[in-house]
Structure 1
């Protein structure tokens, strides 16, 4: 199992991106700890630190393009590609996928042309189930690209989200095991702890609950 130096966790703590409370994640599961990666992006010097870590982690891979899901992955992919381009002495391109009405991750605006016949690194900010990454893999392959590896800022579920899940090389900068719960089993709900509607998917969850 990969060992993590956890420097990226220190960066996230520094910018106040690790929150405690009652949250709903992208997967719909509830949790008491939330990594709000959006709190990282207003701090360009801290973003650079993270992207330098990504570049160092992946500098020995034979890649031509970095693909990332919007929105969080875009900033990280652009910055990481810049560092890698300078390190390798050749341009590493970046593209991003967007959610469609069916919640798939797809290339819009002709971006698939940058992936065709290219060796691709998929970069993601956070993983809990790996669902978003799988959708990006599917889109890259559909566009004719070859996925070389996956690199993640923070893996929140390293027992289940690993190379075996994707059948591809997989690495991460840091890990933080976050306990998640199905709605019916959530102790936070049972203790009537209010759901945070400012970050995560709490607002959408409550809106659907009240329909």
Structure 2
């Protein structure tokens, strides 16, 4: 599956939005990839996550013990990707603003892959890595459906992306005039 194939699925689902968006990272962008509109279609989600699972297996040459998703955005892709890898899916949740593994236990030395929906700066993955390493897990890699940074985000482990798509993103105080003229909306889930 190519990056163009992935973006075609987002367009088909009405998930490729244009306007002025406040991203989870706090940056502003003229494009928002609303993965929830893709994830509401089980067939499209299955197609993307099957391809991501294959990409993970090809990159690692092995299967992890667990797939870990950062809540809320990573829950669905982590679950569906884990189904194709035939390993359990677990997730971290924010507790007092910090990711914690609240509902599950893992054994020290467990090999994990973090699966995220869309990466811009990689902050959620880095926070998940910190949580998992604190529990003694070995983080083999992180994976995402779309890497909005086109390989520029440093997540601290190898990042396996199904698609790379660089979309401009700006600090709020450095917006181009055409973007500043549009009222911003914040469709992400970081505060959840």
TM-score using structure 1 length: 0.81
Q: Secondary structure at the match of 1:45?
A: helix
Equivalent residues in 2 for 1:2-151, closer than 5 Å? 4-59=2-57, 60-85=61-86, 92-102=87-97, 104-109=98-103, 111=104, 113-114=105-106, 116-151=108-143
- Give the distance between the partners of 1:190 and 1:83, measured in 2 at CA: 40
Following TM superposition, the consecutive aligned residue runs of length 4 or more in structure 1 with deviations greater than 6 angstroms are none
Higher-Rg member (1/2): 1
Task: Count residues with an aligned counterpart.
Answer: 187
Corresponding residue for 1:200? 188
Q: Is the 8 A contact 1:4 1:175 kept in 2?
A: no
5+ residue gaps, structure 1? 86-91, 205-211
- Give the distance between the partners of 1:69 and 1:120, measured in 2 at CA: 13
| CA 191–145 in structure 1, closer or farther in 2 if over 3 Å, else same | closer
- Alpha-carbon deviation of 1:190? 6.7
Q: Secondary structure at the match of 2:144?
A: strand
Q: Secondary structure at the match of 2:54?
A: helix
Deviations, residues 165-191 of structure 1 (Å, cap 9, x unaligned): 234222100011111111111125774
Q: Is the 8 A contact 1:32 1:188 kept in 2?
A: no
- Give the distance between the partners of 2:151 and 2:134, measured in 1 at CA: 28
5+ residue gaps, structure 2? none
Q: CA RMSD in A?
A: 2.1
- Alpha-carbon deviation of 1:10? 1.5
Deviations, residues 49-100 of structure 1 (Å, cap 9, x unaligned): 0111111111233411000101121111111111111xxxxxx111101122
